[in-house]
Structure 1
Amino acid sequence: MTTSSGRSAAIIGAGQTGVSAALGLLDKGFDVTVYSNLDQQQLRDGIPASGTALILGAAQRAEESLGLNTYLATAPLSTGESVRVVDAGAEAIAFDGWFDGFRGIAVDTRLKTDDRLTLFQQRGGRFVVQPVDPEGLDTIAAKADLTLVATGRGGLSSLFPVNPARTAYDKPQRSLLAFTVTGLPHGPEVFAHRSTAGGAHNALTVVADQGEVFWGPYLHKDAGPTWAFLGWARPGSDWERRFATVTSAESALTVATDLHRDYIDWDLPEVTELRVIDEDPHSWLTGAVTQLVRSGVGHTAGGHPVAALGDTAVAFDPIAGQGAQGGLIQAAALVHRAGAHDGPFDTAWLTAAFEEFYDHRARAAQQVTRLFLADPELAAYGSLFFAAASGSSRFASKLLGLLDDPRPFESVTSEATAKQLIADFAGEPTDELLARFVPAGRFQRSGLALSAV
């Protein structure tokens, strides 16, 4: 049973990160209030999910440390990722890597939020449906010992200025299309042309002048085990023009199917088996994210310090899956730190907590995301890594491990250090490994024929 510490916490925003932090603080004895501009039913059924939210080992352990359900027993899991790269029109690179020591899980954030909000209230937490603007935040922060802002709505992001020294971009690097569909199982017969693991591996395809496409197992709030699609379109590309035409779940699936027919035909039989989730009209979204780092601490008009949490503090392009993972890791670290702290949650304490998160996770996660975005400053390293992965299953696994723990990539600052990381990961000399590289030439095509069964 939770024992009250006599301390109070206010959390603005009822997404996955905010509600996870709320439950954690409640269990540490805080009197916790969560504020949201939407009620619980709207949060579950009235909005799209905020992306795929693929969670790997470290983020799963963060959830477990807070006593939270990770859904590992009920969701379809991924055990690795198969990658295909098309460069200058040529089918150039193909590799398949297995996750080492963890499994991937993607759960509808609306389901997580709903489950955790219910548990939060059952345990005595207060849930207040109330829009919060900077003036309202000042009133809330004046009364709470600890105030966390897990949303940028209502102008709250303006309290946390962008840190230009830590921010690489001033605009989105991709246009995004995301949706969830059903109709395809997760067995070895699915995507069997890409991996012996079949439907247990996520599928990433890179078309160098257009963008990237991801398919992965997913647990939908209504339909259960399903598939999630994420597409990233480069500015000015044909894909960007296609994404801009999407106005519904049906049109999203049509655009993705046509895109595969024209650019990624090796996966087309799988895609043509898919169908929209009729009971969820919000199973899709389009948009764009500017990857950036803000100040982790802001101050209200009355001078009260408040902390930014999750995307409010550090925004990631979702291509490397760092947003949801980073938010959960930050939330768990802050909860445990707050539970062990006896003094005030002042500017110095909040700043130290954010800097620790930035140093131990966010900085490296930003770099790995830039790597998978083929950032011009890092593109040469990515080419080396993908070529090495095609020749070494051990390196492919370690490369995918950067999505779970991005810190090893911080050592890469030159071609020499990139090659050293390859050697360390692969367990053999880099030049010998790269010398074995042979362009794919032509990817194996799907032979799936489920409809005929």
Structure 2
Amino acid sequence: MTSQRKSTRSAAVIGAGQTGVTAALGLLDAGFDVTLYSDRDQRALRDDVPATGTALEFGETQQAESALGLDTYTARAPRHTGLTVRIAGPEREELIAFDGHFDGYVGVAVDTRLKADERLTAFAERGGRFIVQQVTPEKLGSIAAGVDLTLVATGRGGLSELFPVDESRTPYSAPQRSLLTVTVTGLDHDDSVFAHRSRAGGARSGFSIFAEQGEGWWGPYLHKDAGPSWAFLGWARPGSDWEKRFAAADSADSALRIVRELYRDYIDWDLPEVQATQVIAEDPHSWLKGAVRPVVRAGVGHTGSGHPVASLGDTSAAYDPIAGQGAQSGLIQAQRLVAAAAVHDGPFDEEWIGRQYRSFLAARGDAANRVTRLFLGDPELAEIGNTLFAAAAVEPRFASALVGLLHRPQPFLGIDSLDAAGRFITEVTGENADALLARFEPAGRFDRSTFTSSLATA
């Protein structure tokens, strides 16, 4: 959508990542005079930095982008039609396997650099101002003094310290996992790929949980240069063998080698597909390692001169990516802020900003935070998680409902006990939860891949 009236209000957005540029473009189309600030120019934002995670988006986020008139990439990116899960115990016993279908939506994982680049081009073409400049706290004060609304989307670092940590929503004092990600080619997305996991094959994401070590995920991806591809994202528990392995990565080649060795030694059921992958030579930034402390911050901060500014995206809430909620929440938050600002006639003061943030937390943020804790295996949610995952292994309808929490996490807010978990199982399946769970049996041995790479047989 494009503004049809002269701008009478102004906004500044600090940070030109996926979420920041989406908000800037949305405000511009809503009739604001918008200036977007970044410490890197457009080419550097596309080619000189790694993608910030896999940015897998589900239906609610795509609806938010569509409401802003933006491309959701569902016609361009390889689609995720569901999630297959394998869970192994501390002695490597193979316990749980299920295949959850995404009901009524698809997932797409798009290189954040590609999305930000294309939206930044549209922003400039429609008359937005893009300024390459490092914004310090002092500079932010002068920027905020000159506009009606200021959004800070600089991520977990940068200006995030202006927004106090919400201790009531931040249960962890340190990262819960070390992370390693690499984007690769060499695999198609047809039903011959990962066929041992699902008849849908390469249209599914694959998630493996290894007790006391960590988790590994493979999923279809749209890379900025290579196009349709695959992404690996791994999580290593503190002190684990996986953590030591991840720490040794120093390039895309070494990251992929570490992943191959990890699957050889621990997750051999997926090994043939993993061995067939290749690094993306034209992108030296196709890999990333690090750690994220899950933190929820205040929605309102203040410059040194007292001007209120709004946090956005990872500046508001830094999620561990294990449940894919970072990209979801940031884009939904951006759309909600744009929609509210478009119809607001008064000042964008502390009260208005705070009200919008509380509304976002109630509608998405709190639920996204809790679902992330579920998939992290938070001890407070361990018994609930064990019950839900066991039910998913028994009943395909419940498997789809469980993975559906990644798309719409709100139902999990009410699951605060084993009794509530049982009611959720019964509501979804129409069957008494105890009777359903009584049919659970450990997998015994997961199906192994028989995939043969076309390159190996050519």
TM-score range, shorter chain: over 0.9
* Aligned partner letter, 1:387: A
Matched with 1:84 is 86
Partner of 1:227: helix, strand, or coil?
strand
Backbone CA RMSD of aligned residues? 0.9
* Aligned partner letter, 1:79: T
Matched with 2:58 is 56
Matched with 1:229 is 232
Does the C-alpha gap of structure 1 residues 107 and 368 become closer, same or farther in structure 2, counting only changes over 3 Å? same
Distance, in Å, in 1 between the alignment partners of 2:259 and 2:156 is 30
Q: After superposition, what is the alpha-carbon deviation per residue over 1:70-118, rounded to whole angstroms, capped at 9, x for unaligned?
A: 1111110010010000012200000001000100000000000000000
TM-score, structure 1 length as denominator? 0.99
Partner of 2:172: helix, strand, or coil?
coil
Distance, in Å, in 2 between the alignment partners of 1:312 and 1:323 is 11
Identity, in percent, stands at 62
* Aligned partner letter, 1:144: V
* Aligned partner letter, 2:145: A
* Structure 1 position 299, deviation (Å): 0.6
* Aligned partner letter, 1:400: V
- In structure 2, the gaps of 5 or more residues are none
1:66 equivalent in alignment to 2:68:
yes
CA contact (8 A) 2:156 2:315 kept: no
Partner of 2:269: helix, strand, or coil?
helix
CA contact (8 A) 2:367 2:409 kept: yes
1:101-120 aligned within 5 A: 101-120=104-123
Matched with 1:93 is 96
Distance, in Å, in 1 between the alignment partners of 2:413 and 2:157 is 35
1:353-432 aligned within 5 A: 353-432=356-435
1:288 equivalent in alignment to 2:288:
no
* Structure 1 position 4, deviation (Å): 2.4
* Aligned partner letter, 2:282: E
Distance, in Å, in 2 between the alignment partners of 1:279 and 1:178 is 17
1:113-132 aligned within 5 A: 113-132=116-135
* Structure 1 position 153, deviation (Å): 7.2
Matched with 1:209 is 212
Matched with 1:445 is 448
1:13 equivalent in alignment to 2:15:
yes
Matched with 1:159 is 162
CA contact (8 A) 1:391 1:434 kept: yes
1:335 equivalent in alignment to 2:338:
yes
Runs of 4+ residues over 4 Å off in structure 1 = 152-155
CA contact (8 A) 2:260 2:275 kept: yes
Q: After superposition, what is the alpha-carbon deviation per residue over 1:23-48, rounded to whole angstroms, capped at 9, x for unaligned?
A: 11001100000000000000000000
Distance, in Å, in 2 between the alignment partners of 1:444 and 1:19 is 44
CA contact (8 A) 1:133 1:154 kept: no
* Structure 1 position 412, deviation (Å): 1.1
- In structure 1, the gaps of 5 or more residues are none
Distance, in Å, in 1 between the alignment partners of 2:6 and 2:395 is 53
Q: After superposition, what is the alpha-carbon deviation per residue over 1:187-244, rounded to whole angstroms, capped at 9, x for unaligned?
A: 0000000000000000000001100000000000000000000000000000000000
Partner of 1:287: helix, strand, or coil?
strand
CA contact (8 A) 1:131 1:154 kept: no
Partner of 1:68: helix, strand, or coil?
coil
Matched with 1:344 is 347
Mean alpha-carbon deviation: is it higher for 368-377 or for 428-437? 428-437
Distance, in Å, in 1 between the alignment partners of 2:64 and 2:368 is 16
CA contact (8 A) 2:263 2:271 kept: yes
* Structure 1 position 5, deviation (Å): 3.3
Distance, in Å, in 2 between the alignment partners of 1:4 and 1:83 is 52
CA contact (8 A) 1:134 1:154 kept: no
* Structure 1 position 427, deviation (Å): 2.1
1:180 equivalent in alignment to 2:199:
no
Distance, in Å, in 1 between the alignment partners of 2:290 and 2:83 is 25
Mean alpha-carbon deviation: is it higher for 253-262 or for 416-425? 416-425
Distance, in Å, in 2 between the alignment partners of 1:355 and 1:5 is 28
CA contact (8 A) 1:17 1:310 kept: yes
* Structure 1 position 154, deviation (Å): 7.0
* Structure 1 position 170, deviation (Å): 1.0
* Aligned partner letter, 2:344: H
Distance, in Å, in 1 between the alignment partners of 2:160 and 2:452 is 49
* Structure 1 position 324, deviation (Å): 0.3
TM-score, structure 2 length as denominator? 0.98
